[in-house]
């Protein structure tokens, strides 16, 4: 029997039991892909992060992320959670999306990610899928793709009741709904049923698109954001050229061993 360290971390959270849940599992070498996918399904949280000592690229570790259904190209909250578990002043991960670094300043962890690009797109059923009028649709290139849709206000965003079968049929099954915030710069919700998650509690990769989207509209490069899921998550967002820097805090709520 193989025993693997296991950490259950709430990331981009203002307290335990908020933010987005990530399972973090340090490895000495990669397990077979099918086994890592089975472990992620067993963990049944938004993402399970696996990392091994770095094999190159100047990275400290090589990092991969699995939802309960698929391996993904980019995941912010599980990267932040992995850095939290490692508890270093700075750590560099080699990933499918290049080098991602995390640094610690005071109580915040800062995650450096690539900016996603957006282009206006013709509506593809997004309004019907989320059950609300939208004032624009933008296709996302980079990260995990999908589409950003702008809704009227924060109250509308919070009241959305998506039809997830319809969400799965449009925009790569990944819809990022957003609105201006009442007490923060902007708010969002993320629906991604084709990834095995109907609504993701807090999505770092979505903020790689939302940060430049709102920076252009608000005329500022540093913003505060809330992902208004049931668990809710808080993010500091900084646009720095071709990079997005996301700040947040993490809480470890379970520590143990996974028996394989």
- Taking the C-alpha atoms of residue 169 and residue 112, their distance in angstroms, rounded to an integer, is 31
Q: Name the strand (E) or helix (H) holding 81.
A: helix 76-86
Q: Report residue 254 as tokens.
A: 């379970």
Q: What is the CA radius of gyration of the chain?
A: 17
Which residue, 250, 220, 239, 219, is CA-closest to 114? Answer: 239
Rounded Cα gap, residues 129 and 145, in angstroms? 17
Cβ atoms of residues 52 and 4 within 8 Å: no
> Are 113 and 97 contacting, i.e. CB atoms less than 8 angstroms apart?
yes
Torsions phi, psi for 119 (to 5 deg): -140, 135
Is-catalytic flag, 47?
A: yes
Q: Structure tokens of 187?
A: 């708010």
Q: Considering the candidates 47, 126, 154, 199, report the single residue annotated as catalytic.
A: 47
| Distance, CA of 234 to chain centre | 12
Are 110 and 102 in contact by the 8 Å Cβ rule? The answer is yes
What are the catalytic residues? Answer: 47
């Amino acid at each position: 029997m193989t025993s693997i360290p296991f950490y259950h971390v709430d990331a981009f959270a203002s307290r335990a039991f908020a933010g987005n849940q990530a399972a973090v599992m340090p490895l000495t070498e990669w397990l077979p892909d099918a086994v890592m996918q089975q472990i992620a399904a067993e963990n049944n949280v938004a993402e399970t992060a696996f990392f091994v000592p770095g094999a190159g690229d100047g990275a400290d570790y090589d990092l991969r992320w699995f939802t309960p259904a698929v391996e993904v190209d980019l995941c912010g909250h599980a990267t932040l959670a992995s850095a939290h578990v490692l508890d270093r002043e700075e750590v560099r991960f080699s990933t499918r999306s290049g080098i991602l670094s995390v640094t610690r300043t005071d109580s915040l962890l800062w995650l450096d990610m690539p900016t996603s690009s957006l282009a206006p797109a013709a509506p593809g059923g997004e309004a019907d899928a989320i059950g609300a009028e939208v004032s624009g649709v933008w296709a996302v290139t980079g990260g995990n793709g999908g589409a950003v849709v702008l809704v009227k206000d924060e109250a509308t965003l919070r009241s959305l009741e998506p039809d997830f079968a319809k969400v799965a049929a449009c925009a790569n099954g990944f819809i990022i709904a957003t609105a201006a915030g009442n007490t923060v710069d902007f708010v969002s919700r993320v629906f991604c049923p084709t990834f095995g998650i109907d609504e993701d509690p807090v999505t770092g990769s979505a903020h790689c698109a939302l940060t430049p989207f709102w920076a252009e509209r608000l005329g500022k490069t540093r913003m505060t954001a809330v992902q208004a899921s049931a668990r809710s998550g808080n993010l500091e967002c900084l646009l720095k050229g071709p990079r997005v820097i996301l700040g947040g805090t993490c809480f470890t709520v379970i520590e143990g061993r996974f028996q394989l």
